[in-house]
Chain A
């Protein structure tokens, strides 16, 4: 384990009992309802049957596992447990399900977008049109990614005139927009100014109108090419596309990346709809490329020999030939060919002193830029990418577990009870002496506003080959409710002195059945641990041969086998105010609106590393 000793991990119960996902269930049910009446085919019918079977199986599994759980000791070394152990700070508690939630039982949801530079939020409606980037004056340096500052040349030299050309400048690598020959007329709306300078689509209204017209024309054209399926494909396609090129090239070649992307997107959407809805499809299904049925169909193409035969054998019949998706052929469809018919100027620029190695943009720099960019002189400033604030929801009940506050404030701490352990006599945790008892102080803290009864259980001997003995000296205890921090401070000013653990440790002796220490919302108990002996040293002791020390044991020690990890089963009960009428009200309801709640989980204490020899 990578954490320094001592550490604690909490095992999320989701690893053993898969969280029943209502959404998944609903989906599968809907699916079965939908598919079976439509076409009683073997695939759909089989699916629905399988899914219902699975549900039953899952349910019964859950029950079985719950029963098993009571008996089984959690083994921190089993390969499975690796996937369920989380440090307490990564876990959340769902107040609706009354369960611990690990990152795998949580879905994230984007609450808002904000710019990491100006910290302003962007409304979700604007995010897409802004290309996920800040629409204000936030830019990153295309050379070194440092933030660019808007500065004026005149005011620096001329003293406070605040006029004249403005530039974006990087105060880290000294790049300015003057390096690419760009200056701005005003210090606001830099993004739109820059767009106007470099973007053809945001040009005069006349231009946009023709563009729209051309798009409409392209749309008109698509049914035509739709007709041009199977048989006429080859002959028919050339004519309209040629016509297309000549008509539209001057006016409506999508010259920036967004327009090109839009053209390609609409082109391929047309292609998909054409090829998949064709009546000549041998499978005759209405699965699109995006539907899961498409995968089914593809798989069955390869598996069933009869279909393969029909596919290839049926070639004689023209209608069984599947329509072929073609690629974009014209600029209006989004085709783009490199605009350097003559490479000589580029080569000479590479050779020149001005270009050279330093003048060529690096791959990291080009990745963010238009694909044509080759030299650092062509790099444009990059508007800052937006970031998201996300809420965390419980996967099972969709209850919001964590909601981000304003950017500057911290999210609320998870309301689960966290634990931290500290050993009392301060031995070297990276070299524990075998068979010498140590006392481990385990402090449990309560973040809830209700007092909690806790029961701790550990196996008397840790699982695995290195058997260490563990005893919890006071397995049952109470933890006070969390309250205002000021209460403790006001109760007694001298309290901190007496509760200083160092002072107490010197005089106190751990006693069975007694808690070590107790505070407002925390309790410390003692675990007595006798570290076991490692296999190799065990062999030494048995054989009595002191010289055969390294690797003489029956099996070589596994990596990290010397780590002393104690599984602890924590069970806690408390009376909560029944705030919502849930089905578990009936569990153990008390007259005065109090509901008994319980939470149980396995926890792993990493105490230290056992020394190989005495």
Chain B
């Protein structure tokens, strides 16, 4: 048993060596309360802004080549997430979505304000997920590991895109909807309000001549609980992740 030694080559020094001039570093405007890991990558020509309390895990990549990237407050961006698209970089085709290699209509490319990639409040992005340029992810939505969000897609608030699922270009996912299954997947609306007991319960209660069980709490409670957990996770992560400004540990 041996503990590992840190890899000697730092990512930062490695990335400019790939391209002789070095990729342009995106102008970053981050809230002071945001925690941004040292090894997160910000590239591109447009500004990237990070909201308060947001956690950026290591090796997350922001490619602001086609438009600005705006990340709201209280988001969690996991490892190897790609937000935006690399400028047709053949070195990493696996991360770039298929749409990015296709020729983009000129009208969209010229209209830069449209290609802003927005993540609203309390958005969670799982490891290795891909958020294509122009996508808009509304508040409290979740995008799980290896999911792919196409260009200009809209993910409604409190929606969830499950692991490995795909939301196509310009597709919209309504709020409180779960995209699950394989590929484009199936959709399911989450319960928000309190639901009455199911018919099986009612029939059973009638037959047993017992009172129908009392009303269950609102489905929204579960979502509140989930957001509470996320809040705690952010607090813990904020203490654990080595921020970009801090000196090297050891």
Contacts and interface: CB of A to CB of B under 8 A. Distances in A.
Contact of A378 (B200, B205, B217, B225): B200
Given A178-B191, A376-B188, A153 B222 contact: yes
A167 B201 CA distance: 15
B28 interface: no
B190 A174 contact: yes
A182 B216 contact: yes
Contacts of B198: 180-182, 198, 377-378, 380
B143 to A, nearest CB: 13
Nearest to B163: A172
Nearest to A204: B208
Given A165-B217, A169-B222, A197 B201 contact: yes
B207 A255 contact: yes
A255 B197 CA distance: 18
B218 A173 contact: no
Given A144-B180, A182-B216, A197-B213, A176 B188 contact: no
Interface string B219-233: 101101100110000
A255 B222 CA distance: 33
Interface string B158-201: 00101100000000000001101100001111110011111111
B201 A176 contact: no
A441 to B, nearest CB: 36
Given A156-B225, A181-B194, A358 B208 contact: no
A143 interface: yes
B195 A377 contact: yes
Contacts of A157: 221, 224-225, 228
B189 to A, nearest CB: 6
- How many chain A residues sit at the interface, stated as a range, is 35 or more
A377 B199 CA distance: 9
A183 B188 contact: no
B204 interface: yes
Contacts of B224: 157
A203 interface: yes
A172 B144 CA distance: 10
B12 to A, nearest CB: 36
Given A167-B222, A358-B187, A358-B189, A200 B203 contact: yes
**Residue from A167, A173, A372 whose CB has the most chain B CB atoms within 10 Å:** A173
Contacts of A203: 204, 207-210
Contact of A143 (B160, B188, B219, B222): B188
B90 interface: no
Interface of B: 160, 162-163, 177-178, 180-181, 186-191, 194-201, 203-205, 207-210, 213, 215-219, 221-222, 224-225, 228-229
6 shortest A-B CB distances, which residue pairs?
A: A203-B208, A156-B225, A200-B207, A181-B195, A180-B198, A181-B197
B201 A198 contact: yes
Contacts of B201: 180-182, 197-198
Contacts of B180: 143-144, 172-173
A177 B213 CA distance: 13
A601 interface: no
B180 to A, nearest CB: 5
A181 B216 contact: yes
Interface string A363-389: 000000010100011101000000000
A55 interface: no
B200 A183 contact: no
Interface string A253-295: 0010000000000000000000000000000000000000000
Contact of B203 (A144, A169, A182, A255): A255
A198 B200 contact: yes
26 contacts: A143-B180, A143-B188, A153-B217, A156-B225, A157-B225, A174-B190, A176-B222, A178-B217, A178-B218, A179-B190, A181-B197, A182-B201, A183-B216, A197-B204, A197-B205, A198-B201, A198-B204, A199-B204, A200-B207, A200-B208, A203-B208, A204-B208, A204-B209, A207-B207, A207-B208, A377-B195
B221 A153 contact: yes
Interface in A141-161: 143-144, 153, 156-157
Interface of B, helix, strand, loop or mixed by DSSP: mixed
A256 to B, nearest CB: 8
B207 A172 contact: no
**Residue from B162, B195, B229 whose CB has the most chain A CB atoms within 10 Å:** B195
Contact of A174 (B178, B181, B197, B218): B178
A477 interface: no
B204 A181 contact: no
**Residue from B162, B177, B194 whose CB has the most chain A CB atoms within 10 Å:** B162
Contact of B204 (A144, A167, A200, A372): A200
Contacts of A165: 216-217
A370 B198 CA distance: 13
A414 interface: no
Given A182-B197, A200-B204, 18 more contacts: A153-B217, A153-B221, A153-B225, A165-B216, A169-B222, A174-B222, A175-B190, A176-B191, A177-B216, A179-B195, A180-B198, A181-B198, A181-B215, A197-B200, A197-B204, A198-B204, A203-B208, A370-B200
Contacts of B163: 172
A177 B198 CA distance: 10
Contacts of A179: 190-191, 195, 219
Contacts of A359: 189
Contact of B188 (A169, A177, A255, A358): A358
A236 to B, nearest CB: 32
A339 B196 CA distance: 20
Contacts of A204: 208-210
Contacts of B209: 203-204
Interface in A176-200: 176-183, 197-200
Contacts of A372: 199
Contact of A175 (B186, B188, B204): B188
A179 B188 CA distance: 11
Interface string A192-227: 000001111001100100000000000000000000
Given A144-B180, A204-B208, A358-B188, A178 B200 contact: no
B194 to A, nearest CB: 7
Nearest to B142: A174
B11 to A, nearest CB: 32
Contacts of A377: 195, 198
A172 B162 contact: yes
Contacts of A376: 188
**Residue from A362, A376, A377 whose CB has the most chain B CB atoms within 10 Å:** A377
**Residue from A153, A181, A359 whose CB has the most chain B CB atoms within 10 Å:** A181
Interface string A4-32: 00000000000000000000000000000
Nearest to B210: A203
Contacts of A156: 225, 228-229
A174 B216 CA distance: 17
A182 B218 CA distance: 11
B198 to A, nearest CB: 4
A387 B215 CA distance: 36
A156 B163 CA distance: 24
Contacts of A198: 198, 200-201, 204
Contacts of A176: 191, 219, 222
A560 B222 CA distance: 59
B155 to A, nearest CB: 14
A173 B210 contact: no
Contacts of A153: 217, 221-222, 225
**Residue from B163, B216, B221 whose CB has the most chain A CB atoms within 10 Å:** B216
Contact of B181 (A144, A181, A370): A144
A255 B202 CA distance: 13
Contacts of B197: 180-182, 197
**Residue from B201, B217, B222 whose CB has the most chain A CB atoms within 10 Å:** B222
